[in-house]
Structure 1
């Protein structure tokens, strides 16, 4: 993970980091409030050698610096604590006295500093005074030889004892800063862990790796798509519609030498938006002038007719059973060169019906009657219908939903297609988050299109297919009547 991935991960889980910082501040504030204030009393000692001549001044100074380090331990010793408890009535035990005393030798000097901390400022001062007196006496006892010679060192008080008027702990500013820092580090750690454990698709790079195919489109999330799923009317000028047009353009150039005329649109799981994308892709292709046939081959949960507002009673199932002619049930949508074949009734054996010879014959007829055939199929991880249809198509388009589909499920779906040698044209990340920069760029170049079925095509739409060339075959300039263009299937 490089710096850019790290920053992207933290930004994606910003609420985790923010919540952790708030928890850290709350814990620090609680600890600060519940901690009793402690006061510090201090005293400084000067250690020297009496009657020291100038000749041995340097040696004596080095001797005393080494001695001071030992006196620091002596100031915190059990022996001194016992003497203080025996001489002073403070209501403390020797262990409690030791716990309140700290000592430090100032480097490269003969100064020794002692500090006593207590929740009671008066008691801290009294204890410091007692320790000062008993420490000087204890040094004399330790340093005096058995022959009655005077001690070779002398300890004098040069500062204190005195106690501060303000408590030394707790320190609110320091505690809150440490709490915020701890919360920040914990939040970043949780964000990284969350990213590692979260296997759902969060970016297009992961989707490409999972499917092993190029990214052909990234459809942004649009809350209005729940009530207006099609890119017509006011929705024709949204970033979602522009993304579908970009998908249309990318799909044309997947392989210019071997263009895909029959495209199966599928997904790994249900609810990833494949049907909506199939309808919108067919509409976008028809807007560019191609003759498009949209087939609802999801015979278990058909939705194409519902989205397009068409009659769904008779359709693909009835054609495959030989009950009706395809030319009698195919319907033209609006004033565009878009022919729609609904699913019809739900059969008891969808997989067998979709893999039958009648389905193969139907695709041959549609291939001759339309420039491009878009087939909406069932999810690959749920049933085998999608694989059965994709085998008969020129290629498949994998649709995955941002933040919902597991990359392992997408990979398994792609492997299911590869196992039967299905050509995976590419993948589409649906309902993705659109960055601010992309939104700004789109709004800057947006062209408003009048609403209504008779509205003129937007100015940013692809130019006429016949003048461009590319992966798709050139469309006819006139739209034939479906009943005349589509032949009757053998029964």
Structure 2
């Protein structure tokens, strides 16, 4: 890793690092407060070697230094400990463990450091130990002198107590400053190490950089995280009113990202314009239903005629999202129990968005979705509208893979910070194994703040600083009118054929006609009398009750009685 990557890790996990640093700091202080206090006192003795010859000074000094090590070992003997115990009390073994005897290098001194639970006790032990050591040295050196093995009877060393121990004014342990600093340092090290470990072993796709490092499929869009959906318990964005977007609008960034996604999808293949697609994900709760619903609305707002099909027959949500009845729908059409005209709903009278709910939950969803009836339905509808299918997740069931072979391509929703690299890789492998075309992925729930943000705060806090009005352009004719028109010309458009462009005047004219000719069961507002458009451009009144009984062929304008 580079230094910049390490810094990025620290920035991403700074809260955890600071928390562990503070925890270490607190633990260091708490440990210092609960630990028993210890006091240390030191007494020193000087090794003296008497001599009567000035020339022997150097030899006497060298001799004293050589004896210092032996005196240290003598001071650590059980004999000295027993003497001290008999004089000041206490267990000899315990006293021996509480005493440290040293001889500093190149010196002729011996130091005795005693540790005790009270200041005076530590001083008493150190002084008593020096005195006992003096006695033991005199005893040993005197016995050596009496052997007569040396002619230099003056070269006998003694230990002189020159620095008595005094009661310390402060405990030697615990050391508050040291323990606090050490605890904070340990907390900091543990925090950074844990952050690096989390980064290395974290397989979630958190941002575009991680995705691009692992995959080649293009990112068609990046939808920012917004609290509006969770706060309002809805999947569909609210309408943009004439007041428009204002600074701080929680949905502004999402809307702009959705428009960018819509543009990217429309230009995903210029030679073969998109007519049908499946929206899926790796696992549930990764935003595919929210994506498909809002994408369908966005396409309709751009003037496209759109049919949104709820292909998630196991956990259908589209009907509830749009507030439509879901007791009949796709499954009924595929099973031959209903005609498309009976279950296809127009979302709003001013919208070219049509919704086909899932219908009754069948025992065999995969078989229904893989049937030829489903193939024919998608082909039929995509000839006159863009078909968006909200499919189940890929990994739990095979439904989405089955549906992917019936459309132009697939869009995979990836939840930032939730979907893992391995899950998405397996999802794409499943789709490519059946030779499905993956248009790309949509990275949803992208953070608007922090290291993984994609700059969406720009939309809601900087760019839209003043109120703007939102105007939707003129729409093309309604789906029923276009379907009837397509048949009247004797030409049925294929799923890959683009809808012929129309002039603005023609759009306005046909839109006005379509508003007056919505005589199908998908109309929201009932009317006493409706009209339909014939292939000759004439309008004929028809009874509303009869319209409710329209078959799919009649919806497509194939009924000769309607011409």
Shorter-chain-normalised TM-score: which range? 0.7 to 0.9
CA, structure 1 residues 419+197, in 2 after alignment: closer, same or farther (shift >3 Å)? same
Separation (CA, whole Å) in 1 of partners of 2:141 and 2:209: 77
Post-superposition shift, 1:65? Answer: 3.9
- Which residues of 2 match residues 32-431 of structure 1 at below 5 A? 32-51=32-51, 55=55, 57=57, 61-86=61-86, 88=87, 90-144=88-142, 145=144, 146-147=146-147, 149-194=153-198, 199-207=203-211, 213-226=217-230, 227=232, 228-233=234-239, 237-252=251-266, 254=268, 256=270, 260-326=274-340, 329-334=343-348, 335-370=350-385, 372-431=386-445
- 1:293·1:366 contact (CA, 8 Å) conserved in 2? yes
TM-score, normalised via structure 1 length = 0.82
Q: Which moved more, 1:481-490 or 1:270-279?
A: 481-490
Separation (CA, whole Å) in 1 of partners of 2:123 and 2:216: 76
SS of equivalent to 1:163: coil
- 1:362·1:489 contact (CA, 8 Å) conserved in 2? no
- 1:395·1:425 contact (CA, 8 Å) conserved in 2? yes
CA, structure 1 residues 120+367, in 2 after alignment: closer, same or farther (shift >3 Å)? same
- 2:101·2:110 contact (CA, 8 Å) conserved in 1? yes
Q: Check if 1:445 corresponds to 2:463.
A: yes
Separation (CA, whole Å) in 1 of partners of 2:117 and 2:325: 84
For structure 2, the 5+ residue unaligned runs are 241-248, 474-495, 521-532, 536-554
Post-superposition shift, 1:447? Answer: 6.0
CA, structure 1 residues 472+31, in 2 after alignment: closer, same or farther (shift >3 Å)? farther
Q: Which moved more, 1:337-346 or 1:6-15?
A: 6-15
Q: Which of 1 and 2 has greater Rg?
A: 2
In structure 2, the residue matched to 1:466 is none
- 1:268·1:380 contact (CA, 8 Å) conserved in 2? yes
- 2:410·2:438 contact (CA, 8 Å) conserved in 1? yes
- 2:72·2:102 contact (CA, 8 Å) conserved in 1? yes
Separation (CA, whole Å) in 1 of partners of 2:275 and 2:52: 107
- 2:312·2:390 contact (CA, 8 Å) conserved in 1? yes
SS of equivalent to 2:165: strand
Q: Which moved more, 1:384-393 or 1:431-440?
A: 431-440
CA, structure 1 residues 354+489, in 2 after alignment: closer, same or farther (shift >3 Å)? farther
Post-superposition shift, 1:376? Answer: 0.9
1:109-130 superposed Cα distances (whole Å, 9 cap, x missing partner): 3343321110122222222221
SS of equivalent to 1:340: strand
CA, structure 1 residues 291+382, in 2 after alignment: closer, same or farther (shift >3 Å)? same
- 2:120·2:166 contact (CA, 8 Å) conserved in 1? no
CA, structure 1 residues 251+60, in 2 after alignment: closer, same or farther (shift >3 Å)? farther
- 1:296·1:341 contact (CA, 8 Å) conserved in 2? yes
Post-superposition shift, 1:385? Answer: 1.3
1:111-158 superposed Cα distances (whole Å, 9 cap, x missing partner): 433211101222222222211222223333344424363444343333
Post-superposition shift, 1:341? Answer: 2.9
Separation (CA, whole Å) in 1 of partners of 2:305 and 2:54: 112
Post-superposition shift, 1:14? Answer: 4.9
**RCO comparison, higher one (Cα < 8 Å, 6+):** 1
1:188-210 superposed Cα distances (whole Å, 9 cap, x missing partner): 44444555665554444555567
CA, structure 1 residues 5+475, in 2 after alignment: closer, same or farther (shift >3 Å)? farther
- 2:222·2:442 contact (CA, 8 Å) conserved in 1? yes
TM-score, normalised via structure 2 length = 0.72
- 1:272·1:401 contact (CA, 8 Å) conserved in 2? yes
Post-superposition shift, 1:387? Answer: 0.8
Q: Which moved more, 1:435-444 or 1:205-214?
A: 205-214
For structure 1, the 5+ residue unaligned runs are 459-470
Aligned-pair Cα RMSD in Å: 3.7
In structure 1, the residue matched to 2:244 is none
In structure 2, the residue matched to 1:465 is none
